[in-house]
Amino acid sequence: MNAKIRLFVEHALGPGQSVPLTREQAHYLFGVMRQGTGAAVSLFNGRDGEWRAVVDEAGKRGGVLRCEEQTRDLMMPPDLWLLFAPIKKARTDFIVEKAAEMGAARIVPVQTDFTNAERIRQDRLQAHAVEAAEQCGGTFVPEVAPLQKLDRVLRDWPAERRLMFCDEGRAGDNLGPPAAADAGPWAILIGPEGGFSDGERKRLVAMPMSHVVSLGPRILRADTAAVAAMTLWQQALGDWR
């Protein structure tokens, strides 16, 4: 039976493997969740699937778990990146959390012409992705990349990766998601509160890997748009089919 508490750990997982806990994990498991020696916990590390483990040692500042049996194989998400322009803190956190839950393989914050944020807390956003994976039963955690200029990202764009460009300028037009036959590596691009500049729009539309999409007749907030776009893509090409 799967344990109720799930923890992401950096350590390798395998039969009989001892896994040390960080101070924060020990505080959570023994302080907040009131668990002790013998308690069962599910562990995953993004590489070795999910393992049922038991608490061998429990302390205030640390502890040790021991893997007993594998309960799930590693399940990789489809090869989908989510590119988005960071917005206000809570809404950016929401986008990262939802992207991890919904099955993004990589999350790439980009600075566009109208992006207000100059910097992001990459470590905090990565922690949100870990928490989302712990909570949703995932065995993989998407990497949150450092903030990069959109211009630079597009200059280095891998030729084989298609881009679902969510363009608020085309809201309401008959521009649906890609067809199931367009399988392969993909990315979704969501703009900031101020939308895309004319220069960005021209450049994106002209790129051969672009697939322009309308997310309906209303202008959605960026966080809503990210969830809507991922839903459409997952349904058309991803692992929801």
231 scored as a contact of ligand SAM (CB under 6 A): no
18 and 64 Cβ atoms separated by less than 8 Å: yes
CB of 153 to ligand SAM, least distance (A): 15
Q: For residue 32, give both structure tokens.
A: 């907040």
How far apart CA 28 and CA 10 sit, in angstroms, is: 16
CB of 218 to ligand SAM, least distance (A): 6
167 scored as a contact of ligand SAM (CB under 6 A): yes
* Rounded (5°) CA angle 73-76-77: 140
CB of 15 to ligand SAM, least distance (A): 47
- Pick from 56, 73, 193, 239 the residue near ligand SAM by CB under 6 A: 193
How far apart CA 121 and CA 143 sit, in angstroms, is: 13
Q: Which residue is associated with the tokens 């907040």?
A: 32
- Pick from 46, 63, 103, 191 the residue near ligand SAM by CB under 6 A: 191
The residue sitting closest to ligand SAM, measured at its beta carbon, is 191
- Provide the pairing of β-strand 162-166 with 210-213: parallel
- # residues contacting ligand SAM (CB under 6 A): 18
Task: Mark the segment that binds ligand SAM (CB under 6 A) among 20-28, 74-82, 153-161, 193-201.
Answer: 193-201
* 152/221 with CB nearer ligand SAM: 221
DSSP string covering 137-172, please?
Answer: T-S---EEPPPEEHHHHHHT--TT-EEEEE-GGGTT
| Site for ligand SAM, rule CB under 6 A | 166-168, 171, 190-191, 193-196, 214-216, 219-222, 225
